[in-house]
Each structure stands twice: as C-alpha cells, then as structure tokens.
Amino acid sequence: MNQLQQLNQIANRMRAWLVSVAGHPQLRISLLSVAFTLCCYWLVSWCSITHEALLGGKSFSTEEIQKLEFSFANNGLRDYEQHGSQFYIPIISRQKYYDALADAGDASAPKVRVPSTSKEDLPSANAPES
C-alpha cells in the first residue's frame, strides 16, 4: 500500500469520526485545527530535505576526512555537514562535491553527471545527432 492510499484511509477514518462528533462544533474546529497544523508541519519537514549522504553514507578514515575537507575548501564548498566519519552534501550541489571527491583522489568517487537545466546545455533541434 503506498503512502497516498494510507493517507486516504486515515482521512476517511478522521472524516467518519468527525461526523460522529457533529453535535460538538467547537470540538470539531479544534480537532481540525490540530490536524491542519500537523499536516502543515509534516509537509514542511518532508519538503525541507536538502542533504544526502556522500557515497551512500560511506564512513571515511581520518586521513580521507582531512583530504575531503581540504578539497571541499579549495573548491569553495562549505555547505556540507559532517557527522562523525560521514559527510552529508547539498543535493543541489551534488556534482560539485563529487568532482571535489575525485580531486581528493578517492578512487570510489562515482562518475556522476547531474543533468543541467541551462538552455545552453540542451541540444538544439537542428543539431546533428552523433
């Protein structure tokens, strides 16, 4: 069962329960306010996921951490978070961090190419395909 179906089931149960307390309008309004607030909080917290674990959460050695921090600093990358021996990088800057990881000499750095959204990088309609 996917999340949308689960939310739909929960909403149907809440709707049925709210109909059963129809004789208490103040209680209904209070409960709807609480439900609305919780839904807004859930939506905001879900949409605010901005970082991902570098290399799927790989634990780096002390030497690797020093190399990564040096490489990130040399590339002007300061938005990462470090938790113990793991790094969390901004999703929107993923490519820059993986390039810096390769610069640091990590052979396990994936050759990831993040799709560009700029018009210059899009193939033109008249360009010959190779």
Q: How many CB atoms lie within 10 A of CB 71?
A: 19
Q: Helix, strand or coil for residue 5?
A: helix
Can you tell me the distance from the alpha carbon of 20 to that of 78, in angstroms, rounded to the nearest whole number? 54
Evaluate whether 54 touches 67 at the Cβ level (below 8 Å). Answer: no
Give the N- to C-terminal CA distance of the chain in Å, as an integer: 44
- Is the residue at 118 inside a domain? no
At 34, list the tokens: 């609480």
Specify if 98 maps to a domain. Answer: yes
Whether residue 55 is found in the same domain as residue 95? yes
Q: Report yes or no on 120 lying in a domain.
A: no
pLDDT tens digits for range 97-106: 888 888 777 6
- At 68-83, the pLDDT tens digits run 888 899 989 988 989 8
- Clarify whether residues 56 and 86 are in a common domain: yes
Say yes or no: 31 and 73 in one domain: no
In this predicted structure, the answer to whether residue 92 has a pLDDT above a threshold of 70 is yes
Domain count, the chain: 2
Could you tell me the pLDDT band of residue 46, with boundaries at 50, 70 and 90?
A: low
In this structure, the answer to whether residues 93 and 55 fall within a common structural domain is yes
Q: What is the pLDDT of residue 38?
A: 87
Examine the domain organization and report whether 29 and 61 are in the same domain.
no
Q: What is the DSSP letter of 58?
A: P
One domain, residues 55 and 30: no
